[in-house]
Structure 1
Amino acid sequence: MSTTPTANTLLPPAVRVAKLLGVVGSAYAAGAYLTISAHTLPSLSTSSARDLALTLSTLRERLSKPLLFVTSASSSAFAFIAYYLYSTPSLTIPVTSVQFHADSFLPHADLTAVVVGGGWEVYAVAAGVLAAVVPWQMLGVNQVEKRIAAAGEGVAAAEDKGLQTEVVDAESMNAESQKWARGWGVNGLLAAAGAVVGAYAGAWL
């Protein structure tokens, strides 16, 4: 029984693993960002100022850096694939050396040869879109997250001292929550775009 060569079977194992890591990581990051932005944060709007401050601070502490790491790792995986494909000549296989079947798929098949290993530009786009999350997070979202962290620390410090006065108000915390939701919504859309482009490239290139 013969096997039909495809981009995935003929590329090195490291590239195939990078495809998997890039797609899974970016899809996970997109799902987490969008879920928190569209569902988790809005559902907290009825909480008290104290509970909201502590909850937002905890979410930020547990999720912000891990999600940014996953997004950056996925971008790096796609960038590695793009560099490999750019720097390595495409592999051309004569059609006479393979057997065609009705349900087979050969990427870029034509009448004379099958070309495997092209499409570095698509991976570069996926890497670039995911990488855009980092500057947006640093420049557009970090200030909001710092204010959220400060509010949570203020509430915790007041409770440690046994103070009963409100150190934050619900209106300001809800405003910060909404800003954070919008910021992470952008992160989620960028991660989703990178995941879609990367998945397309991983399946067809």
Structure 2
Amino acid sequence: MLPGANCIAAATMSTSNNSDVTLLTEHLTYRPAALIDDIVNSINILAFKAIDAVERGLLAAKPSDIGFKIPSSASPSKVENIHERIKHEIENGVHQLETLLEAKIDKNFDKLELWALRNVLTVPADVRDWVRLAHHDGLNFEQARDEHAPSAESVTMQRRKLRETQKLHALLVAETARNEATIASLKALLGEKTTGAKKEEDAEVEGTYPAFAFLKDRG
């Protein structure tokens, strides 16, 4: 087979796999690979519990039951050293067992994942184009053939226009707020209330005549 044909075949297979993943995700409401991940995580949790139980069981066992002998004539310090050596060997052995178990789980469940994605979590090619999901009921696919129906490009353009309009609206609202604040400040300098154009009647009485009120008085 020519190299170009291999590329085309690989691209076709990738497209079909993506279609299967999309279709199954819509149907299951979660990614198909998430199911495999949950299975692997559950197995890992059980493996960790088993390893922990093995370690606790070995540490709680008598030295003679697991192949260690402590001489009756041994001094307390020597007995303590023997117990430390036993604990070290148990921890080292449990660590090796855990590493071996993790490697076996990863290897075999990788095979399970590949097999499940190829044989279980897949849609046959001969029925892929005929599948109708529950949320597809009531859809009129004939409308898509109407030449006057909106296209994907026109919908995208309208969305862009809407986003730009919303940005402009936000800028105008902010500018309006700044202008209103500026007008209120100018009215305060002229001695007017911010809610109207009425002059404060008690400005002269209190001795707080606005600094720029003369501009309005002269007008």
Q: When the two structures are superposed, what TM-score results if normalisation uses the length of structure 2?
A: 0.27
Q: When the two structures are superposed, what TM-score results if normalisation uses the length of structure 1?
A: 0.29
Higher relative contact order (CA closer than 8 Å, sequence separation 6+): 1
